[in-house]
Amino acid sequence: MAELLQFVFSGLTVGAIYALVALGFTLIYNASDIINFAQGEFVMLGGMTTVFLSLAGVPLPLAALIAIVVTTAIGLALHRFAIAPARGASPVALIMITIGASIFLRGVAQIVFDKTFHSLPPLFSGGPIRFGGATILPQSLVVLASAAVIVVVLWLFVDRTMLGKAVIATAANRLAARLIGVDTRRIVDFSFAVSAAVGAIAGILITPITLTSYDAGTLLALKGFAAAMLGGIGSALGAVVGGLLIGMIEALSAGYLSSSYKDAVAFVIILVVLVAMPQGLFGRVKVERV
């Protein structure tokens, strides 16, 4: 029993990280139908900027705040200077631009920061929490709680505010949105900024567990993307459920089957789910009216 519980805790730890990364994909996708593959780099930038500012003597909370602001500005710049000028292009071309941006950001980070691994202290010091013979780190719970808070905030925003409705309108039909007076460019600007901020927050919170380096974003983004797809891309709740599911599957197959196949098992399950439910678990089915 303690064994199963430990696997579940391991799954929660990993899953919460995937969930937090996956959340960053949702808003940009909602506003512009773009899957932003530079999302992992936002996560990396959040972590690395905080690390280097605190090494330079800036107090940690302030360093984290500056890191979020800097990353948000970079997200905004990504849209203004790379995505917006190409807005006539197909989503596939735009997605390729984000891949290019991710390679660029990684290269710059390698020069501005360095090539070694870094860590941050956890939010709450103190040892692991013991429960029923298994242990979990307090920071894992912090990550989990933050994912929940972000989901609620995003849901409130999209469902209860005018700006949120404008985001949905922009995604649904950009021309129609413009006709009813939505400044669509500002809306997409805004979605990139918020996604970058969410990414930076994720980076700061997960670094005490995962550690970080200039190239940390790539694989995190891959797992986060898988989580977002599984949950139904565009759905914040789906991102979290998808992340937790993948984490749980990985931990349980590492524990009960073999750690060599844990990634394979996770991806097979994702494939099966997506074949059965192409929109993901919580995705909206798109109806095109002609």
Contacting residues toward other proteins, per CB under 8 A? 3, 6-7, 9-11, 13-14, 17, 110, 115-119, 127-128, 135, 137, 206, 209-211, 213, 215-216, 219-220, 250-252, 254-255, 259-260, 262-263
CB of 14 to other proteins, least distance (A): 5
Q: How far is the CB of 84 from other proteins (least distance, A)?
A: 31
Distance CA 80, CA 86 (A): 10
Q: For other proteins, which is the closer residue by CB, 154 or 206?
A: 206
Give the C-alpha separation, 51 to 53, whole Å.
6
Measured from the CB of residue 215, what is the shortest distance to other proteins in angstroms? 7
Q: Which is nearer to other proteins, 208 or 232 (CB)?
A: 208
Residues in the chain: 290
Q: Which is closer to other proteins, CB of 128 or CB of 132? A: 128
Q: What phi, psi does 191 have (nearest 5°)?
A: -65, -35
CB of 29 to other proteins, least distance (A): 23
Beta carbons of 232 and 282 less than 8 angstroms apart: yes
Burial class from Cβ neighbours inside 10 Å (0-12, 13-18, 19+) for residue 22 reads: buried
Kindly calculate the radius of gyration of the chain based on its CA atoms and give it in whole angstroms. 19
Contact 218/258 with Cβ under 8 angstroms? no
Amino acid letter, residue 268: V
Amino acid identity, position 45: L
The interaxial angle of helices 262-276 and 236-256, nearest 10 deg, is: 140
Cβ distance to other proteins smaller for residue 10 or 184: 10
Distance CA 258, CA 261 (A): 6
> Residue for token digits 């900027």?
49
Q: 114 or 159, CB closer to other proteins? A: 114
Instruction: State which residue, 11 or 232, has the beta carbon closest to other proteins.
Output: 11
- Least distance (Å) from other proteins to the CB of residue 198? 18
Residue of 283, 215, 282, 220 whose CA lies nearest to 247? 220
Nearest to 87 by CA among 165, 220, 9, 184: 184
Minimum distance, C-beta of residue 11 to other proteins, in the bound complex (Å) = 8
Q: Where are the beta strands (DSSP E) in 124-181?
A: 129-131, 134-136
The nearest distance, CB 247 to other proteins, in angstroms, is 8
Task: For the CB of residue 23, give the shortest distance to other proteins in the complex, in Å.
Answer: 17
Which CB, 110 or 173, lies closer to other proteins? 110
Beta bridge partners of residue 136, listed in sequence order: 129
The smaller minimum CB distance to other proteins, of residues 182 and 216, is found at 216
